[in-house]
Structure 1
Amino acid sequence: MGLTEQIAGYREGRGDPARLVGEFRRTTLLVPLTNTDVDVDVERPFVAAGGLMSAVSGGIRWLYAFTDEEALARFACARGEDGREWPYLAMLGARLLDAVVPMSDRPAGVAVNVADGDGSMLFPPVAGIVPDAFAVDVDPGADGGHGAVA
């Protein structure tokens, strides 16, 4: 079962959160870039020019990610920007969570297929999804510095 099927099952109340996150981590996602004129700076992937496309809401940076080019095209259309080329990086969900999220300037999560209404899913910056050191629900000072759910 692929990620879109896992999302559908979860949204219908028959999904398993652990399986959903596991499938997300194993899935290659398309992450749009903000500008093609500038190479992505791997040290600062959220800079305005040439960075990974994201939005900030409620103090959380949400990285946009899509399961396929059709889902990305629906996002472009919803923004009224379907007449231009949309460059993207293809990367595993695990890399987004384990390597990219820790580089953010604030708590970060991933918004998958955001233009798809009932087919969309948010993967927030919480324990079990992002590394504990970057989860908003983990107190890094508790449990001798090893982290514990607050």
Structure 2
Amino acid sequence: MPERAATRSDASNVTERGRRAFAVLLGEFRRTPVLVPLGDGPGPDTERGLLTADFNGVRFILAFSDEQALARYAVARGEGAREWRYQTVLGARLLDAAVPAVGVPCGVALDCADGADGMVFPPVRGVVPDAVAVDVDGGARGLA
């Protein structure tokens, strides 16, 4: 039995370390200006003028840490030769204002062309306002 208790304790410690590491990354993202490409107009890949992507029923605003990360995304999309318009937005403003304005469950994907080096900020408690968090009773209310 002590071995089983130790395994549970170890798993709990790993989970807690992961939560703390995510909280640090989230805090850094909230304080950092990021580049948000502007969509070409109404369509499935734009939300209020911002470039978005849908994944498993959740919309994500695409954000990039710098022009090189945006360029990697453009090349991966096969659109590296075109001009990409973007605006610089503070991460906190994306999470606190842009996400709730979308009207459907929405998060932010940072540097999505960078694989494991990218980051996803999902629409959950502690990341987005509770009123639009999908894991809060009453959250995401009024969303289509």
**TM-score normalised by length of structure 1:** 0.74
Evaluate the alpha carbon distance shift between residue 25 and residue 14 of structure 1 in structure 2; reply closer, same or farther with a 3 A threshold: closer
Unaligned runs of 5+ in 2: 1-17, 140-144
* Partner residue, 2:80: 82
- CA drift of 1:140 comes to 2.3
Runs of 4+ in 1 over 2 A off after TM superposition: none
Task: Give the structure with the larger helix fraction.
Answer: 2
* Partner residue, 2:91: 93
List per-residue Cα deviations over 1:37-69 (Å, max 9, x = no partner).
Answer: x6xxxxxx715xxx1000111111111000000
Unaligned runs of 5+ in 1: 1-12, 39-44, 142-150
List per-residue Cα deviations over 1:14-50 (Å, max 9, x = no partner).
Answer: 9612111100100101000112xx6xxxxxx715xxx
Q: CA RMSD in A?
A: 2.1
Secondary structure class of the residue paired with 1:100 = helix
Aligned residue pairs: how many?
119
* Partner residue, 1:137: 135
Evaluate the alpha carbon distance shift between residue 14 and residue 130 of structure 1 in structure 2; reply closer, same or farther with a 3 A threshold: closer
Distance 1:134 1:21 in 2: 17
Between structure 1 and structure 2, the one with the greater Rg is 2
**TM-score normalised by length of structure 2:** 0.77
Task: Please say if 1:120 is aligned against 2:115.
Answer: no
**Identity percentage of aligned residues:** 58
Alignment of 1:102-121 (within 5 A): 102-121=100-119
Task: Please say if 1:23 is aligned against 2:15.
Answer: no
Alignment of 1:49-64 (within 5 A): 51-64=49-62
